[in-house]
Structure 1
Amino acid sequence: MSTNPRWKNRPEGSNWGEFGPDDQLGRLNLLTPEQVKKGMAEVKEGIPFCLSLPLDYPGEAKVNPRRHPPKLQPTLRDGKPNLNFPLRLTNRSLIDVISDDAALIHLQYSTQWDSFAHVGQEFDADGDGRAEMVYYNGFRAWEHIIGPIEYRDGDEIPRPHAPGATKLGIENMAEKCVQGRAVMIDLLTHYGWDRTVVGYDQLMRAMDADGVTVEPGDMVCLRTGYSDVILSMNKKPDAAKLERSCATLDGRDERLLQWITDSKLVALIADNYAVEQQPALDTTDDPCCSLPLHAHCLFKLGVHLGEIWHLSPLADWLRAHRRYRFLLTAPPLRLPGAVGSPANAIGTV
């Protein structure tokens, strides 16, 4: 039980309240100056790697029908497209040529970060026997994460003022800067290009084979090869082939979830879609949870998830040099109220 003003009960296995009653950073609190210095110490060669896909990949809307490629268009100047626009002082005197554009971006279309406002659950945080929609650390739907329609008891109630995530938005992550030591786990080398659902035993086997250890405060990257398959499709994704490709985590594996808890990792990143197997494997233990690893990380622990990163060039370099740690610099956009963001991440060795 708790005296927190937002909740009396916290979910089993969660860390709600451990970083303070109003905490919005979760495990990023473990990304301390000392951890940043550990990341800096991994820079031996001064070689940076871009860890993001081009923002117009995967292409089309086949990987997720609700997310679409970005659309670029010129801004308008005097009602005309502001691209290669001549600015003249007089009709005869050419001063400058101006180009200016705008983008409509689905923030979680390509390489991305999930905020804690991305996935919550129905949970009896009040202890009154009735579940309500809540997010990490007890922040509430309709009070702190506000959309244009409120779904309540089967009704749809319009909300004329819908600012998005007034708490737990991605801007909190951006303000933290997200820089520190990261660890690469190379699942592709051990499990190949076919779809393999990786649980605790398989993960430990790969880590042990490569001598990889994860310490508190580390960010963990999982190289599966999925983003390489995406790139090979040249923005014409074959959804059926992608569903059969590359390793993904078993979000139903309780020992795997417990390892995420015990390791005290601060972020879990993969080059695949959703980090975990989606749809989740069938089970009778938790049939209502369709994204069990998302719920465990985003809802219970305050662990940010990174998805569809481009990890192979860095992973290959690390393997060739018998290394697995590097400096990761990966802030999201500082966009108040957003529940996700593109990640233009950089790994430096």
Structure 2
Amino acid sequence: MTDSPSMSEVLKDCPKNWGRWGEDDEVGALNFLTAEEVLRGVQHVKQGKVFPVQLKMGDPNGDPVWPGRRAAERLMVIDEGNWIGGSAPEFPGGLHYADDFITAFLQGSTQYDALGHVWYDGEIYNGYDAKTTIGGLKKASVLPIAEKGIVGRGVLLDMARYRGKDRLEKGETFTHEDLEACAEKQGITIEKHDIILIRTGFLGSFHEDGPVKFYDGFNEPGLTFSKELVEWFHEREIPNLVTDTIANETTYEPDTGVALPLHCALMRNLGVTFTEICDLEALAEDCASDNQYAFLYAAAPLKIVEGTGAPVNPIVVK
């Protein structure tokens, strides 16, 4: 929107973590996830329940992706049909096999964003020149995140259930104060260095309502920008924000019309990693049934050299 303020205007008084972990840092707030934080997360493994929270990839019914991206496409290269048709190789002993490949946006499924994925004013995370993104991310790519891995105490905040809904509506917003209220109702406390998982239920509308309705007037529900919210993330030293939406925040700010300011305020400025398009439904149902909303969270995106992001199947263990 041409009459919207610039990102630098919107975020002018917000904190940054640039230089906090040195001038060469590329993993940002994940530095908070020390060995002690891993052990703190392990303390919440009580039942041995395992929840892989990746959304299906290459689903024949379609994949919800950011508008303009294509869903993953899988193609068979060889299968039993090749042997039936006489076009397959012959191996001693009579072995047959199947092979396929996939074409996908690196951020076209459940995935981690690289810290260099978004920027403004010519600088990405930690002050690296935005020109380092040309042809591939030479700085702050997804590779350092993938090489570190992400393990710690995770907390689910079920905003849809908190508001008494199956899913939040398009453009529906909530704040850090809503997150605190949701946690209180669930009987937990958001602690320093927690990995925050937020369920909106919104992705359910992709299959229930169909892609046409899902993308019509596209404006996801989610966190909405305020200086106080950014300071809340900064003070609590949150390393990772995980949601069941495509972009982890409401698409357009209701007050300014600015698109995705939290990508810039949290990821670009604070180094908070974003995990998007997660399937939190089974986890949310289980948390509601046993009232255990804190758990061990572990994830490692694919090690894509110079990648802007990478697919991931995070694991929650209760």
TM-score normalised to structure 2 length: 0.85
**Paired residues of 2:141 and 2:305 also in contact (CA < 8 A):** yes
Higher normalized helix content (fraction of residues): 2
Q: Please give the alpha-carbon distance, in whole angstroms, between the structure 2 residues aligned to 1:211 and 1:165.
A: 42
Q: Please give the alpha-carbon distance, in whole angstroms, between the structure 2 residues aligned to 1:314 and 1:61.
A: 20
Q: Counterpart in 2 of 1:5?
A: none
Report the secondary structure of 2:96's partner residue: strand
Q: Please give the alpha-carbon distance, in whole angstroms, between the structure 2 residues aligned to 1:220 and 1:333.
A: 21
Q: Counterpart in 2 of 1:295?
A: 264
Following TM superposition, by how much is the alpha carbon of 1:319 offset from its aligned partner in structure 2, in angstroms? 2.2
Work out which of the residue numbers 217, 237, 252 in structure 1 matches 2:193: 217
2:222 pairs with 1:248: yes
Q: Which stretches in structure 2 are left out of the alignment for 5+ residues?
A: 1-11
When residues 59 and 116 of structure 1 are mapped into structure 2, their CA distance, relative to the original with a 3 A threshold, is: farther
Report the secondary structure of 2:130's partner residue: coil
When residues 85 and 170 of structure 1 are mapped into structure 2, their CA distance, relative to the original with a 3 A threshold, is: farther
Q: Deviations over 1:239-259 (max 9, x none)?
A: 2578477x41112x2222221
Q: Counterpart in 1 of 2:67?
A: 65
2:295 pairs with 1:326: yes
Q: Please give the alpha-carbon distance, in whole angstroms, between the structure 1 residues aligned to 2:200 and 2:232.
A: 19
Q: Deviations over 1:42-87 (max 9, x none)?
A: 111111112011013596587533211112224489xx89x99743
Following TM superposition, by how much is the alpha carbon of 1:301 offset from its aligned partner in structure 2, in angstroms? 0.4
Following TM superposition, by how much is the alpha carbon of 1:121 offset from its aligned partner in structure 2, in angstroms? 1.1
What percentage of residue pairs aligned between the two structures are identical?
29
When residues 178 and 61 of structure 1 are mapped into structure 2, their CA distance, relative to the original with a 3 A threshold, is: closer
Q: Please give the alpha-carbon distance, in whole angstroms, between the structure 2 residues aligned to 1:178 and 1:84.
A: 47
Q: Counterpart in 2 of 1:156?
A: none
Following TM superposition, by how much is the alpha carbon of 1:175 offset from its aligned partner in structure 2, in angstroms? 0.6
Q: Counterpart in 2 of 1:139?
A: 128
**Paired residues of 1:43 and 1:327 also in contact (CA < 8 A):** yes
**Paired residues of 2:63 and 2:72 also in contact (CA < 8 A):** no
2:243 pairs with 1:270: yes
Report the secondary structure of 1:64's partner residue: coil
2:99 pairs with 1:100: yes
Q: Please give the alpha-carbon distance, in whole angstroms, between the structure 2 residues aligned to 1:321 and 1:306.
A: 25
Runs of 4 or more above 6 Å deviation? none
Work out which of the residue numbers 151, 160, 182 in structure 2 matches 1:179: 151
Q: Counterpart in 2 of 1:157?
A: none
**Paired residues of 1:182 and 1:325 also in contact (CA < 8 A):** yes
Work out which of the residue numbers 205, 214, 232 in structure 2 matches 1:259: 232
Following TM superposition, by how much is the alpha carbon of 1:170 offset from its aligned partner in structure 2, in angstroms? 0.6
When residues 308 and 61 of structure 1 are mapped into structure 2, their CA distance, relative to the original with a 3 A threshold, is: closer
Q: Please give the alpha-carbon distance, in whole angstroms, between the structure 1 residues aligned to 2:219 and 2:14.
A: 33
Q: Please give the alpha-carbon distance, in whole angstroms, between the structure 1 residues aligned to 2:60 and 2:246.
A: 10
Q: Please give the alpha-carbon distance, in whole angstroms, between the structure 1 residues aligned to 2:219 and 2:261.
A: 20
**Paired residues of 1:86 and 1:98 also in contact (CA < 8 A):** no
Q: Please give the alpha-carbon distance, in whole angstroms, between the structure 2 residues aligned to 1:84 and 1:121.
A: 56
Q: Superposition pairs for residues 36-47 of structure 1, below 5 Å?
A: 36-47=38-49
Q: Which stretches in structure 1 are left out of the alignment for 5+ residues?
A: 1-9, 123-132, 147-161
Q: Counterpart in 2 of 1:15?
A: 17
Report the secondary structure of 1:313's partner residue: helix
Q: Please give the alpha-carbon distance, in whole angstroms, between the structure 2 residues aligned to 1:202 and 1:21.
A: 35
2:173 pairs with 1:197: yes
Q: How many residues align?
A: 300
**Paired residues of 1:175 and 1:334 also in contact (CA < 8 A):** yes
Report the secondary structure of 1:42's partner residue: coil
Match of 1:266, as an amino acid?
Answer: P
Structure 1 stretch displaced more, 297-306 or 102-111: 102-111
Q: Please give the alpha-carbon distance, in whole angstroms, between the structure 2 residues aligned to 1:278 and 1:236.
A: 17
When residues 231 and 84 of structure 1 are mapped into structure 2, their CA distance, relative to the original with a 3 A threshold, is: farther
Q: Please give the alpha-carbon distance, in whole angstroms, between the structure 1 residues aligned to 2:276 and 2:188.
A: 21
Q: Please give the alpha-carbon distance, in whole angstroms, between the structure 2 residues aligned to 1:172 and 1:84.
A: 46
Report the secondary structure of 1:319's partner residue: helix
Following TM superposition, by how much is the alpha carbon of 1:208 offset from its aligned partner in structure 2, in angstroms? 2.1
Following TM superposition, by how much is the alpha carbon of 1:295 offset from its aligned partner in structure 2, in angstroms? 0.5
Match of 1:249, as an amino acid?
Answer: L
When residues 59 and 18 of structure 1 are mapped into structure 2, their CA distance, relative to the original with a 3 A threshold, is: farther
Report the secondary structure of 1:337's partner residue: coil
When residues 140 and 324 of structure 1 are mapped into structure 2, their CA distance, relative to the original with a 3 A threshold, is: same
Q: Please give the alpha-carbon distance, in whole angstroms, between the structure 2 residues aligned to 1:58 and 1:20.
A: 45
**Paired residues of 1:86 and 1:95 also in contact (CA < 8 A):** no
Q: Please give the alpha-carbon distance, in whole angstroms, between the structure 1 residues aligned to 2:94 and 2:105.
A: 36
